Structures are given as structure tokens and as C-alpha cells.
């Protein structure tokens, strides 16, 4: 029989809590800054760990042996929980905790979910959400180091779950890789690229999700889809923490050097260079995971070939650099 600490708190509405996995609680050492609950029966919760107390690994092992994989935290502690995760990310980046890369990716997934939930909830904590997003970009930079192969490794770890927020983090990874390849060495500029990439499709959250599952769009539906860069900016209007370069990336990531993009049909040098970077990374990530509804994923070489065939859609020099980054330098052709 399981022994529960604390007292039942009665019948509560499930949506007053959000779930965390048992293994996740085990990642952290020391005092927990929030209460942790277990659902004994449907709607009946027991507080098993008190704020400022520590978790019991042996007890959690017993839960898992009973096939109990989920614990709960009150939604009123959501901000505390998010800050707790960001602290763990910072400690990892600084080398001051012993979490391995796999555990760190779990933490990144969770902070991504919290960040997007807070942004789309239209609450008053937008600036905090942007701060959390910045932590995620810094973690991407740290996990990648100077090795593009590390970005691909993280990509594989996340690619099993292709919701918008996972796609956005992958685009951030590859945008940062390309920016570094193009000699963006200033950390402020890299943070701008990474944050713009992370938030580039934020406008999708204000649209009918069914549009993104359809194989064929009507002209009217296509016009709706083309509104998402502007919608993304509107979501961020309330924040003073968004730099101008991030806003430009969000607005311009679907512009094309040939002038056929949207929303403003900008061309050539009128397009913000980091937006050109994100445009390449976004399309590549989409093609190698899921080309579209009903379309199979492509290999990296196939994806790049398709992108290069779409002449005028992407900056050719940036795309050449991206191809070299992914596939390696081209071998010189042998003369006859």
C-alpha cells in the first residue's frame, strides 16, 4: 500500500493543476519552490511534497513501480515553476549542475510549452514569457557550441513531437547554426536571430488550426494563412522586451528576394538579413520532418535540392552556406 504524505485537499477541478512527470521532479536537488500533488482518485489530490521541502527518490520509485508516472503542480505556481526551470537551464549553461543533455532537452521541452501557453493566454506576463524564451535560445547556443552536428543531434531528440513549439525550437537551432556560419559572432545579434526564429510562427496560434492540416487551401484560406506574420506582431504588441530585430524577423520571414513573398512583397536587400536566415531554416525543418499534410518527410539532401530549385525564393548565398553546413563542402568535379 502506498503511503502518502500530507492530507487530501478534497475534490478539486482538474484544470486547477498542470501535470509533470515523476522523473522530472527527480531531476532537481534541494528545496522545491512549489507544492507537488498526486491524484489518488479522480478529482482527489494529495499534497506529497511541500514548498521548501525536498522530494523523496525512493517514494517516487514506488510510484513508478505502481505505474504512476504523473504528478501535479497548482497552476497558481506556474510562474514559479517556469522560473525554476530557467534557473536549471542557467546552471546547466554555466556548468554548475550535473544534468546531462538528454535531461536538459526534457527541461527545454517543458519550458517551451509553458512559454507558448503564457504567450497565447493573452495574460499580463508577456515580458516574463519572453525572458523564458531568451533562456531557451541561450540553452540552444550552449548545447550546440561550435558544432553543427550537435544541432542535428538535438533536432533528432525533439523531432518525434512536431507541434508548433517544437518546430519553432528546431528552426531556432538551425537559424543559429547558419548565423554562426555566416559569422554572426556578436551574442546580441545571435540572441536576436534565435529569439526571432523561436517566435516566428507565433501568429499561427491565433488562426484556425485546421488550415494547417489541409492538403489544398482555397484562395481565401491562403490569404488567411498569409496573415500570420502580422498576427504574430500583434500578439507581441504588449511587450516592451521585444527588440526591433526580432519584430522584423517575425514580420519578414516569408518575404522572398524575388519580391513574391508576403506580407509586404519586399525584395532583395529590403529584406532584413536575419529574416532570410530564418526563412531557410524554417523551410528546411519543415521538409525534413513533414513536407505538408499527406507529404512524406524528405532527406536533408532532397530538401536542399528542392529549395535550390525554387529560384528566387531564398537568398542564394545564404542557401549555399546552409547547404555546406548540412552536407559538407562540395567535392570538386573531376575533369575528364
Per-residue pLDDT reduced to its tens digit, 61-107: 999 999 998 999 998 998 898 888 888 888 877 777 777 777 887 88
pTM as predicted: 0.76
CA 315/CA 277 separation, integer angstroms: 8
Evaluate whether 275 touches 248 at the Cβ level (below 8 Å): yes
Q: Which three cell numbers stand for residue 124?
A: 499580463
pLDDT confidence bin for 316, thresholds 50/70/90: very high
Which range is most confident: 149-153, 185-189, 227-231, 240-244? 227-231
Q: Please give the average per-residue pLDDT across 182-202, as a whole number.
A: 89
CATH number (1.25.40.10, 1.10.10.10, 1.20.58.220, 1.10.3210.10) of 100-327 reads 1.10.3210.10
| Peptide bond connecting 184 to the previous residue in cis, omega within 30 degrees of 0 | no
The proportion of the chain whose per-residue pLDDT surpasses 70, expressed as a percent, equals 85
Handedness of CA 95, 101, 105, 107 (dihedral sign): negative
- The beta-strand segments (E) located in 60-130 are 70-74
Q: Which three cell numbers stand for residue 9?
A: 485537499
Backbone angles phi, psi at 187, to 5 degrees: -60, -35
HSE of 147, CA atoms in CB hemisphere, 13 A = 8
Cα–chain center distance at 291: 19
| pLDDT of amino acid 1 | 27
Could you state, in order of their start, the residue ranges of all structural domains in the chain? 1-77, 100-327
Q: Name residue, grid cell 555566416.
A: 182
- The beta-strand segments (E) located in the chain are 8-11, 17-21, 36-41, 44-49, 70-74
For 215-273, the pLDDT digits (tens) are: 788 999 999 999 999 999 988 887 777 889 999 999 999 999 999 999 999 999 999 99
| pLDDT of amino acid 273 | 97
| pLDDT of amino acid 78 | 86
The H or E element that residue 323 is part of is helix 316-327
Average pLDDT, the chain: 83
Amino acid at each position: 500500500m502506498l503511503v502518502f504524505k500530507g492530507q487530501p485537499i478534497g475534490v478539486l477541478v482538474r484544470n486547477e493543476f498542470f501535470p509533470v512527470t515523476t522523473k522530472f521532479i527527480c531531476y532537481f536537488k534541494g528545496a522545491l519552490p512549489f507544492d507537488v500533488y498526486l491524484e489518488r482518485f479522480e478529482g482527489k489530490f494529495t499534497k506529497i511534497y511541500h514548498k521548501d521541502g525536498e522530494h523523496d527518490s525512493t517514494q517516487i520509485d514506488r510510484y513508478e513501480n505502481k505505474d504512476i508516472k504523473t504528478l501535479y503542480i497548482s497552476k497558481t505556481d506556474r510562474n514559479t515553476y517556469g522560473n525554476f526551470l530557467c534557473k536549471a537551464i542557467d546552471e546547466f549553461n554555466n556548468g554548475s549542475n550535473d544534468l546531462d543533455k538528454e535531461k536538459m532537452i526534457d527541461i527545454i521541452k517543458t519550458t517551451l510549452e509553458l512559454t507558448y501557453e503564457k504567450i497565447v493566454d493573452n495574460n499580463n506576463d508577456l515580458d516574463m514569457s519572453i525572458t523564458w524564451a531568451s533562456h531557451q535560445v541561450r540553452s540552444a547556443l550552449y548545447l550546440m557550441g561550435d558544432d553543427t552536428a550537435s544541432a542535428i543531434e538535438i533536432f533528432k531528440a525533439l523531432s518525434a513531437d512536431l507541434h508548433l513549439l517544437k518546430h519553432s525550437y528546431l528552426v531556432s537551432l538551425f537559424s543559429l547554426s547558419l548565423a554562426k556560419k555566416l559569422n554572426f559572432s556578436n551574442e546580441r545579434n545571435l540572441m536576436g536571430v534565435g529569439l526571432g526564429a523561436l517566435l516566428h510562427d507565433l501568429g499561427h496560434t491565433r488562426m484556425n488550426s485546421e488550415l494547417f492540416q489541409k492538403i489544398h487551401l482555397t484562395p481565401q484560406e491562403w490569404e488567411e494563412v498569409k496573415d500570420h506574420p502580422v498576427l504574430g506582431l500583434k500578439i507581441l504588441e504588449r511587450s516592451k522586451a521585444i527588440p526591433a530585430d526580432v519584430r522584423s524577423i517575425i514580420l519578414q520571414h516569408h518575404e522572398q528576394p524575388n519580391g513574391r513573398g508576403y506580407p509586404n512583397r519586399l525584395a532583395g536587400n529590403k529584406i532584413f538579413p536575419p529574416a532570410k536566415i530564418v526563412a531557410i531554416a524554417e523551410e528546411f525543418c519543415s521538409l525534413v520532418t513533414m513536407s505538408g499534410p499527406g507529404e512524406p518527410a524528405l532527406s536533408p539532401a532532397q530538401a536542399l535540392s528542392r529549395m535550390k530549385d525554387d529560384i528566387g525564393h531564398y537568398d542564394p548565398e545564404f542557401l549555399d552556406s546552409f547547404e555546406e553546413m548540412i552536407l559538407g563542402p562540395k567535392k570538386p568535379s573531376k575533369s575528364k
